[in-house]
Chain A
C-alpha cells in the first residue's frame, strides 16, 4: 500500500498527514481529521449527505481523491460557524428545528450556504437546483424549505 504525505487546508487549519494514496476525501475528513459532521450515505454521489465546500463550491466528497484537493480551501459543516456563532443558514435551520434524524442535514446546510454566499435572493428555481440531489427520508423537506424561505425574507 502506497502512502503519501499530504497537507490539507480544512476549516481554516493546515493539516499535514500521511494517507493511503487513493484515499477518498470523505475518509480523510472523517477518519483522519475526526470531522464526522460530513456523512457517508451512499458513496455513489446520489444522496448529498457528504457535501462539503471546496473553494466555496459545493462538492460531494464521497468519491473525490483526497490528494487532488491539497491546495484547496476545504470547509465542512464544522467550519461554517463564524466569530458570531452559527452562520445564517445554520441559524435558520436551528430556529425552525429543520431536521428530523439529521443525517442529511449537514449536506443540505452546506449546499444552501454555498447558494446564499453567491446570491442573497435566490429564485425558487435556484433553491431547487441547490437541493437537487439531496435526499431526505424522514420528510423534513417542508420545514427545511420554510427555513430557507426565511433566509430570503430576512
Chain B
C-alpha cells in the first residue's frame, strides 16, 4: 500500500469542522452522512475516530443525520457506509491528530519525546503543561486545516493505532431497556396519528366514500383527508385511527384502472417487451448489438445450459415504515428513517414547488432497512398530510398490510446461463443473460412518480417505463460479470417492461440472482469434468486476495467432520467485483418431507482493513440468514386483483429454528481501504445452499425458493 485515499466525501467536505464538533469539553461529536439502519454504523465510525484520535470511544458521539447540519454523503446503501464515511472520518482523524501534535509541540515548546498523549490531551512531561484537542479546536489553525484527498505511506506510518475491537454498541443499552426511540415512538402535544386507506391494488381510482361513514368519522372526532384518490384518516388517538381504518376499507369504493396479472411471472419475463444491453468486462452495460450465443461441436468441449429463476422478494422490516412531519411557518420538518434523507429533501421540495431550504429532514431510527423500502413513501405521504394541517405534527405509520403489499419489491428474475469447458478444465465460454424488472426506482426530484402515492394524489395511473442503468454493476447487471478469467464471456442485461409488481432496490440488487445462478452453474460445469468446486474457482482466479479467501474457507471447513446424511456446498463472490470478498460454505440435510435444515455455515470475508470485527461478523452472519431465508422460503404471491402475501403467514421468512452454527473468519488487511460488508454474503449464500442441495438431491434445483413445491416440480421434470 502506497497511500490511503480519503474517499469521495472529502472532495466536498474537506474541513475538520465538517466532521468534528469539539464544543462540549471532553466530548468529540462526529458528523456523518450515513445512518444506522441496523448495521451499527455509528458505533463503527466512533471506533474508527477513537482508534486514531485516541479519544476514548465512550467520549465520542455520532450526531444523528440532519439535512441542516450533516455532510451529504448520498444514500446509505450499496455497502458504502464504512467505505465512504469511515474513510472520511479516518482521514479527518489522521489530519486532526497530525496537526494537533504539531500545534502542541510548537505551543508547548517541547520535543516529541517529552509528550504524554492521553485521551485527547498532550502533556509536557517536564512542565506538566497541557493542551487538548478542545483547546486546539478553538484556534485559527484548526479552522484553516484542509483534509488531504490522499495520504502517503509516511504520513500513515506516523499514526499508530491499536486495532482494538471490543466495544459496546452505542445503541445497545437503550435497545435492551426499551429506551431506544424509533420514529414510531415520537410523541408531540396535539399530534395527529394518521393511516392511509389503501385500495386493493396499484391502479385504483377513488369512486365513492359512504356518507354514513363520513358522519361516523365526524362523530368520533376523526378527520378524513382526501386528495385525488389518496385517502387518509387522522385522530389524536392512535387506537381509534387503527380501528376506523378497518371500517374505512368497507366504506370506500374504487375503480380498478388496470389489473395486476395472472400470468406466470417467469413467462412474462421472457415474453414482454424488453431493452437488452451488452455488459462488458468491468461490469458496464452498453447499447450495442448482442452477439449470437456460440455453439461447440468439438467433442473435447462440453457445454451446458440452464435457466435459473428467482421469485419476487420483499424487504419486510419487522416494524412497518413510519414518519412524522410538521408544516410550520411555511417550512417542513420531517422525521424519517429513509436511507435517502437528502434526496427526499429535494423530492419533497420539488413536489410542493418550494425552496429546498424550507424542507428539513431529520433521521430517526426505523426498523431494519435492506434497501429502498417504504420509508421514502411514508415520509412523502406524511408531508402531504402535514401541509393540510399546519402547526401540528402528523405521525403516519404504515400497517403490516401496507408494508407487505405496497413496498417496492426485489424483482423476480431469470438467468439464462450457457457455458463450455474444455478437456483441461478451462471454462472457455460463458454466457449469462439476466432478465428482470428494475432494481432502481428510488424517488428523486426528477422522478416523483416513483412515490407510490403520487399516482393517487394526481389520479394519473399511466404506467411509467424504467430506463436501464448502464454504469458498472448497477441494478440488474450487478455481479453479472464473473470475476473469473474465463476465456470469453457474453453478458446481457434485459430490462423487462410491463411486469405486474412495483420493484426497486433490495439488498444486493441483481447480485443475489446473478451470483446464485453463476456460482451454481460453475459447479455444474466443474462436475462434468469431475473438478473440485474449490479448484474450479481458484484455477480461474488471478486475484490473490480472492484465492486467500477461498483457501481460508477450505481450511476452516476441513476442521469439521461432515455429519451423517448431510451435504456441503460452497460459493464465492467479490461484491461488485470491487468491494469485499466473500466465500461461503454450507452444510445441510434434506428431510424425507423435502425440508432443508441448515447445520453449519462457514463464512470467510476480506473487507480490507478491519474497522470493527464484531460488526463485520454481525453483518455477514445477518446477511447469510436473510439470504438463506430468501433462498429457502420467500416468494411474494399475488393474483390479478391484489397482493396475496399480506402478512407473515402468507410470506414465510426464516425463524430461529433453522439457524446454522457459524464459523466466521475475517481476514485483516491493515492499511487497505475499507470495503463494506452489508451485501457481499447474499449471493454466495444462495449459491452455497443451491450447491449443497444439488449434492443432496443429485439434481440441480433451478427455481428459488427451494420450497417443497418447487423442489417436487423440479424433480418431476
Contact = CB atoms under 8 A, between A and B. Distances in A.
Interface of A: 1, 20, 22-24, 27, 30-31, 34-44, 46-47, 49, 76-78, 80-81, 86, 90, 93-94, 97, 99-106, 109, 128, 131-132, 134-145
Contacts of A105: 175-176
Contacts of B654: 141
A144 B621 CA distance: 12
Contacts of B39: 100
A47 B622 contact: no
B236 to A, nearest CB: 10
B182 interface: yes
Contacts of A137: 315-318, 367-368, 370, 626, 653
Contacts of A40: 184, 319
A20 B222 CA distance: 14
Contacts of A142: 621-622, 625, 659, 662
A132 B180 contact: no
Given A36-B178, A142-B621, A101 B400 contact: no
Interface in B583-614: 614
Interface centre among B319, B365, B621, B656 (most CB of A within 10 A): B656
B318 A41 contact: yes
B318 A97 contact: no
Interface in B184-214: 184-185, 187
A143 B621 contact: yes
A37 B178 CA distance: 4
A39 B319 CA distance: 8
Contacts of A38: 178
B75 interface: no
B239 A103 contact: no
Contacts of B182: 36, 39, 103
Which 9 pairs between the two chains have the least Cβ-Cβ distance?
A37-B178, A139-B622, A139-B625, A77-B178, A101-B38, A102-B175, A101-B368, A36-B185, A131-B656
22 contacts: A27-B242, A30-B185, A31-B237, A40-B184, A44-B649, A46-B648, A47-B648, A77-B176, A93-B172, A93-B176, A94-B168, A94-B173, A100-B38, A100-B40, A101-B317, A102-B38, A103-B368, A137-B316, A137-B368, A138-B368, A139-B622, A143-B621
Given A97-B169, A131-B656, A43 B399 contact: yes
Nearest to B648: A46
Given A44-B648, A134-B656, A34 B187 contact: yes
Contact of B367 (A31, A97, A103): A103
Given A90-B176, A109-B176, A139-B622, A132 B400 contact: no
Interface in B29-73: 37-40
Contacts of A139: 621-626
Given A23-B239, A94-B172, A47 B659 contact: no
Contacts of B400: 41-44
B238 interface: yes
Nearest to B399: A43
A101 B366 CA distance: 8
B625 to A, nearest CB: 3
A134 B239 CA distance: 23
Interface string B234-259: 00011110110000000000000000
B3 interface: no
Contact of A94 (B176, B238, B659): B176
Contacts of B649: 44, 46
Given A101-B367, A106-B178, A139-B624, A31 B239 contact: yes
Nearest to A38: B178
B176 A141 contact: no
B565 to A, nearest CB: 19
Contacts of A128: 656-657
A62 B179 CA distance: 19
Nearest to B238: A31
A100 B318 contact: no
Contacts of A1: 220, 240
B38 A36 contact: no
B662 A20 contact: no
Nearest to A66: B239
B647 interface: yes
B670 interface: no
B618 interface: yes
Contacts of A145: 656, 659
Nearest to A92: B176
Nearest to B404: A42
Contacts of A46: 647-649
Contacts of A138: 38, 368, 622, 626
Contacts of A134: 655-656
A25 B238 CA distance: 12
Nearest to A79: B178
B171 interface: yes
A44 B399 CA distance: 11
Q: Which residue, A38, A39, A137, has most C-beta atoms of chain B within 10 A?
A: A137
B175 A132 contact: no
A76 B624 contact: no
B168 to A, nearest CB: 7
Given A106-B175, A141-B654, A143-B618, 18 more contacts: A30-B185, A36-B184, A39-B318, A39-B319, A41-B319, A47-B318, A77-B177, A97-B168, A100-B40, A101-B38, A101-B317, A128-B657, A136-B656, A137-B368, A138-B368, A138-B622, A140-B618, A142-B662
B181 interface: yes
Contacts of A27: 238-239, 242
A132 to B, nearest CB: 7
Given A20-B239, A46-B649, A99 B172 contact: yes
Contacts of B220: 1
A50 to B, nearest CB: 11
A33 to B, nearest CB: 12
Interface in B648-689: 648-649, 653-657, 659, 662
A24 B618 contact: no
Contact of A140 (B238, B319, B622): B622
Contacts of B179: 37, 78
A99 B169 CA distance: 9
A49 B175 CA distance: 13
B656 A86 contact: no
A136 B654 CA distance: 8
Nearest to A125: B657
Interface string B139-172: 0000000000000000000000000000011011
Contacts of B626: 137-139
A20 B237 contact: yes
Contacts of A42: 400, 647-648
Contact of B625 (A37, A86, A141): A141
Nearest to B403: A42
Contacts of A44: 400, 647-649
A29 B168 CA distance: 29
Contacts of B181: 36
Contacts of B176: 77, 86, 90, 93-94, 99, 105-106, 109
A42 B648 CA distance: 8
Contacts of A30: 185, 238
Contacts of B317: 101, 103, 137
A90 B169 CA distance: 14
A35 B618 CA distance: 29
B65 to A, nearest CB: 16
Contacts of B653: 135, 137
B176 to A, nearest CB: 4
A127 to B, nearest CB: 8
B618 A100 contact: yes
A22 to B, nearest CB: 7
A60 B531 CA distance: 53
A31 B181 CA distance: 14
